[in-house]
Structure 1
Amino acid sequence: MLDPIIFSWGPITVRWYGVLIAAAMVIGTFLALREVKRRGWSEDNFLNMVLVMLPVSILGARLYYVAFSWSYYAANPSEIIAIWHGGLAIHGGLLAGILVVWFFSHYYGFGFGNTLDVMAPSVVLGQAIGRWGNYFNQEAYGYEVDPAKIPWAMFIDGAYRHPTFLYESLWDLLIFVFLLLLRRRKHDLLPGDLILFYMILYSAGRFVIEGFRTDSLMLFGILRVAQVVSLAAVLISIVVLWYRHRNHLPGGRINSIR
């Protein structure tokens, strides 16, 4: 069985999950800083925002997960803070992070849409890296499959299964490359377009992949929370993107995300 622990030294235990999440944050921050520097923004101000956003995002991701798994955590309250065991919901982290970005982007004058665009590639790359924490924790996997029909199936929890964490990691990497290429077409983009494309593509992929998972957070016992949220995100983002470009007026007047 795969060991989720890298090493232990006395009371200190270092886990792959935590290391990969930390690596995702560091790499994502450095990637965003390159774009910040290119745009001529204050790197110090941007880092101030990131240093608040990261812990708030983790808190939001955890609270979201706990809220939709409350029956378990109500019976095991000591597990609420045990994020090293897994249990971070990306939608909760995104919501909390966006609120922080909204505040600081206005405070520092970066512009809300512009700031989200700067961070979109970093976020999806971080997700691609962080999903491998699920692999080492042996979680977020899919249904049992026949390895003769699904040769890439992984042996997890006593059976061959869809490696849904791998599916999402690869999908996130494709989105990352797409966003970097799309960012070059700056004359065709409005502030906030990159984050909208991210929301559409990530949410569409998550909607499909979630259908293979066995550990989905459930709403009313019948609906997969991630699929409901993803479908809403796709529809809202498409409508907003269409509306903004339909109303893109000549002479530089645009309906951008402020």
Structure 2
Amino acid sequence: MVVENIQPIDPIAFSIGGLDVRWYGVIIGTGLILALILAIREGNRRGLGKDDFPDLMLWAIPISIISARIYYVIFEWDYYGSHLGDIPKIWHGGIAIHGALIGAIITTYIFTKKKGISFWKMADIAAPSIILGQAIGRWGNFMNQEAHGGEVSRSFLEGLHLPQFIIDQMYINGTYYHPTFLYESLWNIVGFIILMLLRRVNLRRGEIFFSYIIWYSIGRFFIEGMRTDSLMVGDLRMAQLISLALIVVSILAVIYRRKSGLASERYLESGN
């Protein structure tokens, strides 16, 4: 096979009236829709109003996208400081999940306080939806040929028994790369299954959400170490530092909430 003839997948899904709709946006949007449907169904079973999650998403989605972009731009200011016109161009990639989580958590906290709903109840219900959305969203990075790892050989990728279209898409500017988008997507799918099973365990409120944070952060820490596009603070990878911090804080929070009596209610119990 002549590798020079490999053509990457067109990142543009279709065009409408001169407007290009990219696969990145289509995939991210699909992930959000599926995540919302899952959250609404579980919210209804757990006694939330049918409009609670749709109302929350009206605020959380745009705020999360903005905060994810701001987070990314801050750590890439050497570039964006002299290319201000590129800041809004999120369709080219460049949003950080940790920034999105910050925006989503703050928005959800304010929303639940105004609605008189338990933040922890809503966070537990949303946790599987969040990680499912992340698993799907990583394929947007695949379409953009971004968020990949270091150089590998074609034989290495073939040894992973990957579909041909993934191997070909990992051929970027004459070099094959680790499909770290795939590693994280698969890690998140396993996390989604675990969180769905934890719903049956009837953990204390907040602990499904903390389980999500811990699971995602463990995977992100190791996968981030393989990537070539990490946001850096000096010689340190920001995502790894945050992942470690989130793991420690989540474990301590679970212990503290149990010992202090703040986590006396269970996931399957009704009430606000």
Q: TM-score, normalised by structure 1?
A: 0.92
**1:21–1:129 contact (8 Å) kept in structure 2:** yes
Deviates more, 1:155-164 or 1:78-87: 155-164
Equivalent AA in structure 2 for residue 204 of structure 1? I
Look up the equivalent residue of 1:243 and give its one-letter code: Y
Q: Which residue of 1 aligns with 2:5?
A: none
Equivalent pair of 2:69/2:96 in contact (CA under 8 Å): yes
* 1:247, distance to aligned residue in structure 2 (A): 4.6
Query: Distance between the aligned counterparts of 1:94 and 1:108, measured in 2?
Result: 21
Matched, 1:178 2:194: yes
| SS of equivalent residue, structure 2 residue 13 | strand
Deviation at 1:248, TM superposition (A): 5.1
Query: Which residues of structure 2 form unaligned runs of 5+?
Result: 1-7, 161-166
> For each residue in 1:18-42, what CA deviation from the matched residue of structure 2 results, as whole angstroms up to 9, or x when unmatched?
0011111111000000111101211
Match of 1:226 in 2: 239
Contact kept in structure 1, 2:134 and 2:188, CA below 8 Å: yes
| Residue matched to 2:143 | 136
Point out the more displaced range, 53-62 or 233-242: 233-242
Deviation at 1:157, TM superposition (A): 3.3
3-state SS in 1 of match to 2:14? strand
Tell me, yes or no, if the aligned pair for 1:244 and 1:255 is still in contact at 8 Å.
no
- Aligned partner of 1:72 in structure 2 is 79
Q: Determine if contact 1:6/1:15 at 8 Å carries over to the other structure.
A: yes
Q: CA deviation at 1:246?
A: 4.2
Contact 1:120–1:194, Cα closer than 8 Å, also in 2: yes
- Matching residue's letter, 2:207: D
The answer to whether the 8 Å contact 2:92/2:144 transfers is yes
Distance 2:156 2:25 in 1: 34
d(CA) in 1 for partners of 2:121, 2:172? 42
| Structure 1 residue identity aligned to 2:46 | R
Residues 116-168 of structure 1: per-residue CA shift (max 9 Å, x gap)? 10110000000000000000000000000133345236323321211000000
Q: 1:83 to 1:224 in 2, by over 3 A?
A: same
Larger relative contact order (Cα-Cα within 8 Å, sequence gap ≥ 6): 2
Name the residue aligned to 1:169.
Answer: 185
Aligned counterparts, 1:49-64, within 5 A:
49-64=56-71
- Give the counterpart letter for 1:193 in structure 2: E
Aligned equivalent of 1:85: 92
Counting matched residue pairs gives 252
User: Which residue of 2 is the match for residue 244 of structure 1?
Assistant: 257
Going from structure 1 to structure 2, the CA distance change for 1:7 and 1:214 (only over 3 Å counts) comes to same
Secondary structure at the counterpart of residue 228 of structure 2: coil
1:204 aligns with 2:211: no
Unaligned runs of 5+ in 1: none
Q: SS where residue 184 of structure 1 aligns?
A: helix
- Name the SS of the counterpart of 2:219 in structure 1: helix
* 8 A contact 2:258–2:264 mirrored in 1: no
| 193-202 vs 235-244, which moves further | 235-244
Q: Structure 1 residues 148, 113: CA separation in 2 closer, same or farther (over 3 Å shift)?
A: same
How far has the Cα of 1:242 moved from its partner? 2.5
